[in-house]
Amino acid sequence: MSLLPSTSGGQASMQPSTPPLPVPQFDSEELTARMQIFTNELNSCIQRIKSRITDGTEQWVQETSELQAMDRSLREELKVAQVQEQAVVKALKKEKEEASVISKEVQQLTDTHDEVSETKRALMAQVNQLRKEVKAKREAKIAEKKALDEQVLKNRPELATFESVLALRIIGVKEDHIGFVFTRISEQDWEKEFTVTMDVTRHDFQVSDCSPSLPDLETHLQYLNDTRDFYGFLKRIRKAFIEFSKK
C-alpha cells in the first residue's frame, strides 16, 4: 500500500519532497550530569521518604510501646481496683451484718428496758400499797396503844387493887412488852416470883416469856384474844401457876 496519492490516467504526478527531520544534538556529558543530578535528587527524596517512614515507624513503635505499657498499667490498676472493690464489698457486708446484730441487740435492750420499766412500775405500785398498809397498821397500832393507855389509866385504880389482892406487880420489860409478876403462889415460898410477859405490838396479844412454862398457856392466850378480858386472863394465869406449883 502506497502512502502517495494516485493520479488519473495512470500518470504519476510530481510531489514536493518531505524535508528531513532534525536530528537532536545531545551533549552526553551534560546529559549524564543532568541524569546524575536527577538521580541524586531522586535518591535524596527516597531517602527522605524512608527517613520519614523510619521516624514514623519508630514513633509508632514507641507510641505503641507506651500504649501497651499504659494498657498493662491500667490492667494492673484495674486488678487492684477490683481487689479493693471486693474488700470494700466484703467490709460493707460485714458492717451490714454487724449493724444487723447491733440493731437486734438494741431492740433486745429496748425490750428489756421496757420490761424493767414495767416491772419497776409494778414494784413501785406494790411499794406504795405496802406503804399504805404499813401506815394503816401503824395508825391502827397507835390507836390501839392509845386505847390501851386510856384503858390502863381507867383501870389503874383496879390494878392497884389487883396488885394488892392478887399479889401482882406490873413491870415494863421493853417497848410494847408488859411483864406481870405474881407472888404468893407457892405455899413453900410466898415470895417466889412467877412471871408472864405479854407482847402488845399486834392486835392479837402474844406471850413472849412465861416462867415457869405453863402447858395450857395457849388456851389462856386464846381466851384473852377472843374476849379481850385482861382481868379474866390474869386470874386464869394465876390459877394455872398455883396448880403448877402444887405438882
In the chain, the domains with their CATH numbers are 166-245 (3.30.457.50)
Report the distance separating Cα 4 and Cα 6, nearest Å: 7
pLDDT of residue 243 exceeding 60, the answer is yes
Q: Which residue has the higher pLDDT, 122 or 151?
A: 122
**What amino acid occupies position 81?**
A
Length of the chain, please?
247
Q: HSE-up of 22 (CA within 13 Å, CB side)?
A: 3
What pLDDT is recorded for position 12? 46
DSSP state of 236: H
Q: Which residue has the higher pLDDT, 226 or 147?
A: 226
Q: Which of 98-102, 141-145, 208-212 comes out lowest in average pLDDT?
A: 141-145
What pLDDT is recorded for position 11? 46
pLDDT of residue 169 exceeding 60, the answer is yes
Residue-averaged pLDDT of the chain: 83
Q: Identify the sign of the CA torsion 123, 127, 129, 130.
A: positive
Q: What pTM did the predictor assign?
A: 0.38
In the chain, % of residues over pLDDT 70: 86
User: 207 to each of 173, 220, 228, 244, how far by Cα in Å?
Assistant: 13, 10, 14, 18
Tell me what the mean pLDDT of segment 75-91 comes to: 88
Under the banding of pLDDT at 50, 70 and 90, the label for residue 196 is very high
Q: Which residue has the cell 405453863?
A: 214
Q: Residue 178 is inside which H or E element, if any?
A: strand 177-182
pLDDT of residue 63 exceeding 80, the answer is yes
pLDDT of residue 152 exceeding 80, the answer is no
Q: Which residue has the higher pLDDT, 5 or 170?
A: 170
Tell me what the mean pLDDT of segment 133-159 comes to: 78
For residues 192 and 183, the answer to whether their CB atoms sit within 8 Å is yes
pLDDT of residue 115 exceeding 50, the answer is yes
Q: Which residue has the higher pLDDT, 149 or 122?
A: 122
Cell numbers at 74, concatenated: 491500667
Cell numbers at 67, concatenated: 500504649
DSSP collapsed to 3 states, 56-117:
HHHHHHHHHHHHHHHHHHHHHHHHHHHHHHHHHHHHHHHHHHHHHHHHHHHHHHHHHHHHHH
Tell me what the mean pLDDT of segment 195-206 comes to: 92
